[in-house]
A and B are shown apart, each in its own frame.
Chain A
């Protein structure tokens, strides 16, 4: 049952990602990205990391993607114009994709025996455990990230501020 659900949500995720690339309309691509985020959250849920799953939905699907959609609506971005005359993608892209894919698979196969396989449902991630980890073991990383976010917020305020002229 778990394996079936994993395959189902995994195929949603990959399908959404492929659809994101091949769609011409910006809004359809954005919607496919939401599908990707949602199915990733469901896979986290299958692994037992319920807090991470819900946060994934709230932050990515509920906040960040809303802003994407917002921008698309404001700019009213229509259909993309397919570019003609560029053969770079055909000459380098397809061989590059193959080489990259083969290297990726090779690396994964090389490392697979060394890594421990995680069975589905093995990660137990309730909110209090995650919070404990953030405020003890990973405190430095957490604080550094918060400073980074603060800088980003201030940058956004400076950029959005009206000039006094």
Chain B
């Protein structure tokens, strides 16, 4: 592949992925309002378009046209930097995620993954520390929130961002450790390598995903930590509206607020992508041979998007179900329950991997 073709393919992949990601983000908001509405026995958005489907568009226009207020008492440079930082960090990590296998189009073969290429032997390959890069970008995402709260120069914002950074730093440990079991079993850090390690099936229909190969405890720990990382209910202490107005983005309005909002939902999508790649086999799935060939070609994408949909629905479902933790409960849960559990999982997995080797 020549340098120019590579560049064109890369730009197309980035544009398509970004477009799809932003659409998913917009419609996750719609889905959340709709599903939570049904759970609370009301309709949710229903006026703009059929089933309220144009609501995200209307919200976007509203965000753009609202007055963009910058309070006079803020630290201006950092105040303006923070939402951009949060959004950029949230959108970047999707580049590592393998969304599908190699596709052949117009005589060019490339995997459906922004950082993926086809190597000399015709196999898909990507950055061989992919999962660590995702964790690194996630850990940088804290800055957007921390700086937003500090620069707003308001008590509620500061408290919200202190809570958020303490929570994210604490749960990052369990999040990282819960992935170690999978890394031990697959013996690679590359995300597409991890997907390839889960391709087989038992009896022709039970897929060999890591969640079925003993990593269900890790999956549980990962999901809990991921809810805390994305500041979602029941861990949404940083923006607890009953005590902190809106937490770290209290002083933000219009598009700057929308950037935090989009960052939160983009983070949810990324976390769901990583969960499905690490534990549920990414784009792989049991073969459905009865389907026509035209549908078979799209099967990996269908598997991947249905897994993402499952996780996003789980987020919304839990939001509609559980109340919020108290802050000391949150910290105790993270350090005294999830962390030892993740550690125990690493030890047990390492033991079994060592026996098999």
Q: Is B a genuine binding partner of A?
A: yes
* Chain A residues within 8 Å of B, Cβ to Cβ: 27, 31, 34, 50-51, 54-55, 57-58, 61-63, 66-67, 69-70, 72-74, 126-127
Judge whether A70 and B136 touch: CB under 8 Å: no
Q: Are A73 and B150 closer than 8 Å at their CB atoms? A: yes
Q: Which of A55, A69, A70, A72 contacts B132 (CB 8 A)?
A: A55
**Contact surface of B with A, Cβ cutoff 8 Å:** 75, 78, 127-129, 132-133, 135-136, 139-140, 142-143, 146-147, 149-150, 158, 161-162, 165-166, 169, 172, 189
With A57-B140, A63-B139, A73-B149 given, can you name 6 additional A-B contacts, CB distance below 8 Å? A50-B127, A58-B132, A63-B172, A66-B165, A67-B169, A72-B150
- Give Cα A63–Cα B129 distance, bound, in whole angstroms: 19
Nearest-Cβ distance from residue B335 to partner chain A, whole angstroms: 12
**What's the nearest-Cβ distance from chain B to residue A10, in Å?**
21
Chain A residues with CB under 8 A of B133 = 54
Nearest residue, chain B, Cβ from A62: B139
Cα of A63 to Cα of B140 in the assembled complex, Å? 9
Asked, given contacts A73-B150, A127-B189, whether A54 binds B162 with beta carbons under 8 Å apart, the answer is no
Cα distance, A58 to B131, chains bound together (Å): 12
Shortest Cβ distance from B169 into A: residue? A66
| A77, B140: Cα distance in complex, Å | 22
Assess whether B142 is in contact with A62, with CB atoms less than 8 Å apart. yes
Is the pair B162, A66 in contact by a Cβ cutoff of 8 Å? no
Q: Which of A27, A74, A126, A127 contacts B78 (CB 8 A)?
A: A27
| Closest chain A residue to B135, Cβ basis | A58
Nearest chain A residue, comparing its CB with the CB of B150: A73
A-B contact pairs, 16 of them (CB 8 A): A27-B75, A27-B147, A27-B150, A50-B128, A54-B136, A58-B132, A58-B135, A58-B136, A61-B136, A61-B139, A61-B140, A62-B142, A63-B169, A66-B143, A70-B166, A127-B128
3 smallest CB-CB distances across A and B, nearest first, come from A62-B139, A57-B136, A54-B132
Nearest A residue to B162 via CB reads A73
Q: Is the CB of B143 within 8 A of A69?
A: yes
Contacting pair A51 B129 (CB below 8 A): yes
* Chain B positions within 8 Å of A66 at CB level: 139, 142-143, 146, 165, 169
CB distance from A159 to the nearest CB of B (A): 18
Chain A minimum-CB-distance residue to B176? A58
A73 contacts B146, C-beta separation under 8 Å: yes
Measured CB to CB, the nearest residue on chain B to A70 is B165
Q: How far is the CB of A150 from chain B (nearest CB, A)?
A: 15
Roughly how many angstroms separate A34 CA and B166 CA in the complex, as a whole number? 18
* Cβ A70 vs Cβ B146 within 8 A: yes
A140 to chain B, nearest CB (A): 22
A62 touching B136 by the CB < 8 A rule? yes
Distance, CA A57 to CA B140, complexed state (A): 8
Which among A50, A55, A62, A72 has the highest number of chain B CB atoms within 10 Å?
A: A62
Cα distance A20–B142 in the bound complex, in angstroms: 21
In the assembled complex, the Cα of A55 lies from the Cα of B189 at a distance in Å of 13
Q: Which residues of A contact B147 (CB under 8 A)?
A: 27, 31, 69
User: In the bound complex, what is the Cα–Cα distance between A27 and B136 (angstroms)?
Assistant: 21
**Bound Cα distance A70, B161 (Å):** 9
Q: How far is the CA of A67 from the CA of B168 in the complex (A)?
A: 12
Q: Do the beta carbons of A69 and B140 come within 8 Å of each other?
A: no
Taking CB atoms, residues of chain A closer than 8 Å to B75 are 27
Contacting residues, chain B, for A62 (C-beta < 8 A): 136, 139-140, 142, 172
Task: Find chain A residues with CB under 8 A from B165 CB.
Answer: 66, 69-70
Which residue in chain B gives the minimum CB-CB distance to A52? B129
In the complex, chain A residues whose CB is within 8 Å of the CB of B135: 58
Min CB gap B247→A, angstroms: 14
CB closest residue in chain B, given A41: B136
Q: Report the bound CA distance from A52 to B297 in whole Å.
A: 39
CA distance A100 to B351 in the complex (A): 53
- Least CB separation from B133: chain A residue: A54
Smallest beta-carbon distance A86→chain B, Å = 29
Residue of B nearest to A74 (CB): B162
Chain A hits for B158, CB < 8 A:
73
> Which residues of B sit under 8 angstroms from A31, Cβ to Cβ?
78, 147
CB-CB under 8 A from A27, the residues of chain B are: 75, 78, 147, 150
Chain A residues, Cβ within 8 Å of B162: 70, 73-74
